[in-house]
């Protein structure tokens, strides 16, 4: 079949097998040739949420920058005869193929990381293949979580708190800037969002690994968060997602107490805004990101997802790194996004931006390109007219 992007709202229901592979290879090439994370920093790395966005970039930097053996967990869809796989499924295959070509251990387990069954499978795999884990990266982003103890299916919401929020946004496909009125969350929606995107599951993972004695001495764990600019706070940091992220901070403190026994370190790392499957779904964020990308590109401080994670590993996660921590003990690598010179310019443009001037003030085109690249489209060197078998990559 000829695979074309089929966009429905903020997701693309197709993924290009060769495009996804080329996208992964580009990131591996970046880390192998220009990356700064140094080899031998970590022996064995577990990445929860390894198939896309920041988790995939972390796996690439761990594997190809630090020479680590990586075990990844993700929840992806395999292809059928006439339907492409999800992008992450192809990404995992591409990662494994490159790792295998270099004699680097890489195994991916596909299934629900929130379930006890997946935890058991991961523990068994570590025992059989790896021994102990030096770094656990927690990079899950999901709209739902079935709680392993109660079997309740929790759904997250992306909503403000308190009152109706009237705020500027953009329709990514049409490029229309308008105001939307977002209904506030109920208490139940807040609690559900915390269950899905908060820190409880991260704690379950670390507790299970510790109980099975599968964490190496001085092991580290890092979970990713976003704080961002005041412009997005009403929908993010001060909304349902922010409550979940505050719970991640709580969990990090409790995990740290448990890791003290092995000299370990638990951190939440604050990352910059990028286009990912998860972030494209958040209202307001695409407009903010379009302005941000334009300003950062103009000022020469824009980083891609892989560049950002390479910097995180090289400057913050390596042993003896001089960590840039905030008052809550979080790692801050969102310093370039939040630089005064960047934020002042984004804030100046925010009230001015309209459908007509968005192409000058913002980089919606770059946002759209990044979005398509997540699904393997628009990658240099890929023949998009060629007939491809969605199952040809196995
Ligand atoms: P993403 O959508 O690109 O990736 C999410 C990953 O989670 C995928 O590998 C997916 O397969 C996996 N996953 C989802 N549900 C799963 C399940 N039930 N079982 C197993 N795997 C599952 O997301 P992302 O944007 O890279 O986000 C990762 C983390 O980074 C999140 O905590 C997010 O809040 C944080 N973050 C994102 C941004 C951003 O701008 N995208 C910025 C800062 C921090």
Q: State which of 90, 139, 155, 312 you would mutate to test the pocket of ligand 1, scoring each by most atoms of that ligand within 8 A of its C-beta.
A: 139
How many angstroms separate the CA atoms of 85 and 16, rounded?
A: 8
Give buried/exposed letters for 99-128 (b at 16+ CB in 10 A, else e).
Answer: beeeebebbbbbebbbbeebbeebbeebee
Tokens linked to 306 = 């892989």
CB 365 within 8 A of CB 359: yes
Backbone conformation region of residue 320, classed left if phi is above 0, alpha if psi is from -120 to 50, else beta: left
C-beta 274 within 6 A of ligand 1 = yes
Distance 318 CA to ligand 1 centre (A): 22
Residue 285: half-sphere exposure toward Cβ, Cα within 13 Å: 24
Distance 181 CA to ligand 1 centre (A): 26
pTM flag (> 0.75): yes
Tokens linked to 158 = 């992306």
Secondary structure letter of residue 184 according to DSSP: P
Residue 359: half-sphere exposure toward Cβ, Cα within 13 Å: 3
- Whether 242 is in a domain gets the answer yes
How many angstroms separate the CA atoms of 41 and 314, rounded?
A: 9
Distance 80 CA to ligand 1 centre (A): 24
Catalytic annotation, residues: 236
Nearest CA to ligand 1 atom 14: 142
- Whether 113 is in a domain gets the answer yes
Distance 354 CA to ligand 1 centre (A): 30
Work out which ligand 1 atom sits closest to the CA atom of 140: 7
CA distances (Å), origin 115, targets 14, 120, 151, 184, 201: 27, 9, 9, 30, 9
- Whether 211 is in a domain gets the answer yes
Strand-pairing partners, residue 169, are: 178
Q: Is 240 exposed, middle or buried (0-12, 13-18, 19+ CB in 10 A)?
A: buried
> How many structural domains are present in the chain?
1
C-beta 88 within 6 A of ligand 1 = yes
- Whether 388 is in a domain gets the answer no
Closest CA to 245 of 134, 334, 343, 123: 334
Mapped onto helix, strand or coil, the DSSP state of residue 128 is helix
C-beta 226 within 6 A of ligand 1 = yes
Nearest CA to ligand 1 atom 16: 75
pLDDT at 344 (0 to 100): 98
Closest CA to 224 of 248, 196, 192: 248
Distance 272 CA to ligand 1 centre (A): 13
Nearest CA to ligand 1 atom 12: 49
Q: Is 370 exposed, middle or buried (0-12, 13-18, 19+ CB in 10 A)?
A: buried
Give the domain extent around 222.
7-163+190-284+303-339
Supply φ then ψ for residue 268, to 5 degrees.
-100, 135
C-beta 52 within 6 A of ligand 1 = yes
Nearest CA to ligand 1 atom 21: 74
Q: State which of 89, 118, 140 you would mutate to test the pocket of ligand 1, scoring each by most atoms of that ligand within 8 A of its C-beta.
A: 140
pLDDT at 57 (0 to 100): 98
CA distances (Å), origin 67, targets 38, 73, 95, 215, 324: 8, 19, 13, 18, 24
In this structure, the chain runs to a length of 394
Q: State which of 10, 11, 27, 49 you would mutate to test the pocket of ligand 1, scoring each by most atoms of that ligand within 8 A of its C-beta.
A: 49
- Whether 358 is in a domain gets the answer no
Rg of the chain over all Cα atoms, to the nearest angstrom? 20
- Whether 181 is in a domain gets the answer no
Tokens linked to 89 = 């499924």
pLDDT in tens, the chain (394 residues): 999 999 988 889 999 999 999 999 999 999 999 888 887 679 999 999 999 999 999 999 999 999 999 999 999 999 999 999 999 999 999 999 999 999 999 999 999 999 999 999 999 999 999 999 999 999 999 999 999 999 999 999 999 999 999 999 999 889 999 999 999 999 999 999 999 999 999 999 999 999 999 999 999 999 999 999 999 999 999 999 999 999 999 999 999 999 999 999 999 999 999 998 888 888 899 999 999 999 999 999 999 999 999 999 999 998 888 999 999 999 999 999 999 999 999 999 999 999 999 999 999 999 999 999 999 999 999 999 999 999 987 5
Tokens linked to 285 = 């964020």
- Whether 124 is in a domain gets the answer yes
Distance 385 CA to ligand 1 centre (A): 31
SS (H, E, C) 262-327: HCCEEEEEECCCCCCCCHHHCCCHHHHHHHHHHHHHHHCCCCCHHHHHHHHHHHHHCCCCCCCECC
Work out which ligand 1 atom sits closest to the CA atom of 273: 40
Strand-pairing partners, residue 35, are: none
- Whether 171 is in a domain gets the answer no
How many angstroms separate the CA atoms of 208 and 213, rounded?
A: 9
Q: Domain holding 94: CATH number?
A: 3.40.50.720
C-beta 106 within 6 A of ligand 1 = no
pLDDT at 185 (0 to 100): 98
Tokens linked to 119 = 């935890």
Asked whether the CA dihedral 50, 316, 61, 127 is positive or negative, the reply is negative
How many angstroms separate the CA atoms of 225 and 197, rounded?
A: 10
């Amino acid at each position: 079949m000829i695979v074309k992007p089929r966009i429905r709202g903020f997701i693309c229901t197709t993924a290009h097998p060769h495009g996804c592979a080329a996208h992964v290879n580009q990131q591996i090439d970046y880390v192998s040739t220009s990356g700064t994370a140094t080899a031998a920093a970590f022996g064995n790395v577990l990445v929860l949420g390894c198939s896309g966005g920041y988790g995939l970039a972390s796996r690439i930097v761990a594997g190809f920058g630090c020479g680590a053996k990586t075990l990844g967990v993700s929840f992806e869809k395999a292809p059928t005869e006439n339907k492409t796989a999800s992008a992450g499924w192809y990404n995992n295959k591409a990662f494994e193929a490159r790792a295998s070509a270099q004699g680097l251990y890489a195994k991916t387990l596909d299934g629900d990381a929130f379930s006890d069954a997946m935890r058991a499978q991961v523990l068994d795999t570590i025992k059989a293949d790896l021994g102990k884990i030096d770094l656990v990266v927690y990079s899950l982003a999901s709209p739902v979580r079935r709680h392993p103890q109660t079997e309740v299916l929790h759904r997250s919401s992306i909503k403000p708190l308190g009152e109706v929020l009237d705020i500027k946004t953009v329709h990514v496909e049409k490029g229309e800037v308008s105001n939307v009125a977002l209904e506030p969350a109920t208490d139940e929606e807040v609690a559900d969002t915390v269950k899905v995107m908060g820190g409880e599951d991260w704690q379950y993972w670390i507790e299970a690994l510790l109980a099975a004695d599968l964490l190496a001495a001085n092991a580290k764990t890092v979970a990713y968060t976003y704080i961002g600019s005041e412009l997005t706070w009403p929908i993010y940091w001060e909304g349902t997602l922010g409550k979940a992220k505050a719970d991640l901070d709580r969990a990090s403190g409790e995990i740290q107490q448990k890791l003290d026994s092995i000299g370990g370190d638990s951190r939440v790392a604050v990352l910059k805004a990028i286009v990912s499957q998860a972030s494209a779904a958040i209202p307001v964020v695409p407009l903010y990101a379009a302005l941000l990308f334009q300003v950062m590109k103009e000022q020469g401080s824009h980083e891609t997802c892989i560049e950002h994670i390479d910097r995180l590993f090289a400057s913050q996660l390596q042993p003896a790194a001089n960590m840039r921590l905030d008052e809550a003990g979080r790692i801050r690598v969102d310093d370039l996004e939040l630089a005064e010179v960047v934020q002042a310019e984004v804030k100046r443009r925010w009230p001015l931006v309209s459908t007509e001037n968005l192409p000058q003030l913002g980089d919606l085109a770059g946002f759209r390109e990044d979005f398509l690249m997540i699904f393997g489209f628009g990658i240099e060197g890929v023949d998009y007219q060629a007939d491809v078998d969605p199952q040809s990559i196995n």
